[in-house]
Chain A
Amino acid sequence: MLLGSNFLTRAALWSVLSLAVVAAASAPVRAQSSLEAQRDALFDRMFEAPTDLDLMLGYARLSVQLRDYEQVVATLERVVAQRPDLIEARLELAIAYYALGAYEIAVYHFNIVRGAPNAPPELIAEIDSYTANAETRTSRNSVTGFIEAGPAYGFVDGGAGVEVGFGLTWRYQFEGANDLSWLTELRATALHFPDDDDETFTYFLLRTGPEFSLDGTAYGARLRPYLALRSSVDFDLDNRSTAGFGLQYSDTFGTDWAGFALLEGGALRRTDYDEDITGSFISAQIGATYFPTRNSLVRLALRARKDETDNDLTDILSWGGRLDVQYSFRPSWARSDRLWKVGAYTVLDWQRFTALTPEREDLIYGFGASLRAYVKDDYYVEARADILRRDTDVPGAATSREAVSIVFGRDF
């Protein structure tokens, strides 16, 4: 029934997605090779004339494009040594160090720039933002988060509603030569439509565990074992809660790729049909992220999950994937120093209700997009749109959710 058409649909969608990823990935690689050649040629000229400011500037610009900020720092150090009066060069040196995560040395240079006699107020405010963030990132205890709320509209049945969200991340860095920190995250999201409770949900996550390097390098393999509590509640009182143990793995491969994997399992409890259902779950995820530029990424994640419960209706095997594209930028006219973010995703998942006879099959697919604009300092407005559908071989049971929301929030 559904399986045949689903298979073709999945194959077609994934083919398109794969081609898009390959096309997106190959173009920047070619451009990068060309930039490398240009930069090497410029270096040869700079080596012959090491005090030529124009050559140094050109070399640093190409290094920025190649995301080689260490060479940007090296070049600007030479500029500052030769022209200590160029306070603008020192400002860029501070930003370059900041980009490398060298926060103490960045703050040193930021403070010099801040003390310039004619430093404009906008720049001082931006420098204060940099130094405050640097202090947070270098402190042993840091708490960051966000809070947001705004109107939403559901196009299927929901009508007018509201979306609220809250997040908190607490990182404690242990003393020692190697980076070891304990990370605790709290997330809560609710989408509520007063006229249609069925389209409403609440999602809650508490995840905590240490994070450490596996190979002793700053950007190498990292592992994070964790405990996680999750709960999702529909307002018709169907809910699903899990308590699980998991492992997150992440690594970088060269300059443009990062990989990740996740394995989580634990106990499961549902409330459906006015009865409690208990069981267990195990989920896995593996994927890769490609960074075409400093501020853009393409991420593909493949995932699978199995729920086994004491109720046949909730024994589920699912697998599928998700593709994300994100880009950060800063409009020249923006009043905040924060980068704006535009993103889109598409999901494709297949679910089998394995204990039913015959088995039920669902196909879940859709896409979404968002744009976050920082209006002032840490305050932002974000527009979101989601169109998600569930096809099933149970007649009349297909569903869809189409919603837009505009939330106003603040990072802290």
Chain B
Amino acid sequence: MIRAVSAIAMAAALLAAGGAVAQQIGVVAAVDPDMSGRPPTGGSQVKAPGSPVVANETIVTSASGRGQLLFRDQTTLSVSPNSEIVLDGFVYDPAGGGRTGLSLTRGALRFIGGKTSREREAIIRTPTAIIGVRGSSALISYEGNQTRAILIAGDRLCVSGTCTNRQGAIMTEAGYQGQVTQAQMAETLSQIDGPPQPGASFSTGQAGGGGGSGGTGLGFGGGTGIAEVTGPDSDPVSSQGALRDFQVFDDDARSDAIVGITSGGADLPPVEMLPDPMEMVPEPFDPAPDPMPEPAPMPEPMPEPMPEPMPEPMPEPEPPTPDPMPDPDPPDMGGGDDGGDDGGPPIIIIEPL
């Protein structure tokens, strides 16, 4: 019974695999001057722009040939001369999921990731290494029994378990080899793309425009708009469009310092303590006040006489007053009569601006 179930499952898997083999996964976007493909079922085919490529197809370039492939998940692959790759790991489901993978048995390629490699690491195998490219683009070569990978853009590049998040990092089976130099980059790109075409020039009347590339209406059909949103001082964007907020810990310093807010700037308003709460009264006092000023709310005097005569004459009792009268002169803060021991709060004011 178990054997029967296993056989059915295996048959189903084989059928599924057979279906995948026949499935078109990409298309040839450019060829210069020639490139060939060898599907899993069938012989070698000369590839031309628009030719389909299918799962598990082997792509081969001659010593002078190169080409570009475009895949359904929007991955782009540029193949250098003298290369051979096997498209053995491309599975794409427009509804989500899928994976990206291929084998590079010789030569060099430029991998620019598409939808699936943003969600799941793309795997590129060479005879000596396994390369993981996460959300990224990379230049990868296998020559002289050595694998070399350069991270162009993206989150991370791993070669046989050692990873880098530095753009421009060179990785081999031996790990991180430093940052790519301009000469190394030129050599690698010339290998993949060929030397730049000599004599290429700007379209007449459209070169430059006013003030550089931004919004110049370049000859390329008006351009993509990339120059209008990017300048030399622009912060970099991840391959998935993510941005860092580089000024986040800087921007509040100035305004906070101006007003004296916390966190990041000058914090406290300049304050000073007044010597006496009554100094807060805005109106100046009469320099020659009446000996008996009109009392504010005065309590009624006690109407009832004392029940027993006092043995000695007592001074006339003073009616209670709410507060001692302030001295018209500035008070002496050094004395004991500071008027502030009555439980009243210290008063602070903000200095005028």
Contacts and interface: CB of A to CB of B under 8 A. Distances in A.
A13 to B, nearest CB: 15
Given A100-B153, A102-B153, A108-B182, A338 B50 contact: no
Contact of B168 (A92, A103, A281): A103
Contacts of B280: 395-396
A120 B252 CA distance: 41
Nearest to A135: B182
Interface string A314-358: 101010101010001010111111110000010101010100111
Interface stretch (B6-14, B36-44, B156-164): B156-164
Which among B224, B242, B267 has the greatest number of chain A C-beta atoms within 10 A? B224
Nearest to B175: A177
Interface in B49-83: 49-50, 68, 70, 72, 74-76, 78
Contacts of A281: 267
Contact of B245 (A70, A232, A299): A299
Contacts of A203: 253-254, 257, 265-266
Contacts of A333: 210-211
Contacts of B145: none
A201 B258 contact: yes
Given A198-B351, A250-B245, A57 B221 contact: yes
B153 A49 contact: no
B233 interface: yes
B207 A78 contact: no
Interface string A97-131: 11111111101100010001111111101100110
Contacts of A41: none
Contacts of B265: 203, 230, 232
A88 to B, nearest CB: 4
A360 interface: yes
B257 A254 contact: no
Contact of B352 (A105, A205, A399): A399
Contacts of B185: 104-105, 107-108
Which among A177, A320, A357 has the greatest number of chain B C-beta atoms within 10 A? A177
B146 interface: no
A33 interface: no
A78 B68 contact: yes
Interface in B178-231: 178-182, 185-186, 189, 193, 196-197, 199-203, 206-215, 218-231
Given A97-B152, A250-B248, A345-B251, 19 more contacts: A51-B29, A53-B221, A64-B226, A79-B220, A86-B219, A87-B201, A87-B219, A96-B226, A100-B237, A103-B167, A116-B202, A177-B165, A189-B253, A254-B242, A262-B263, A283-B264, A313-B273, A337-B211, A394-B348
Which 6 pairs, one residue from A and one from B, show the smallest C-beta to C-beta distance? A232-B266, A101-B236, A120-B208, A126-B212, A305-B262, A177-B176
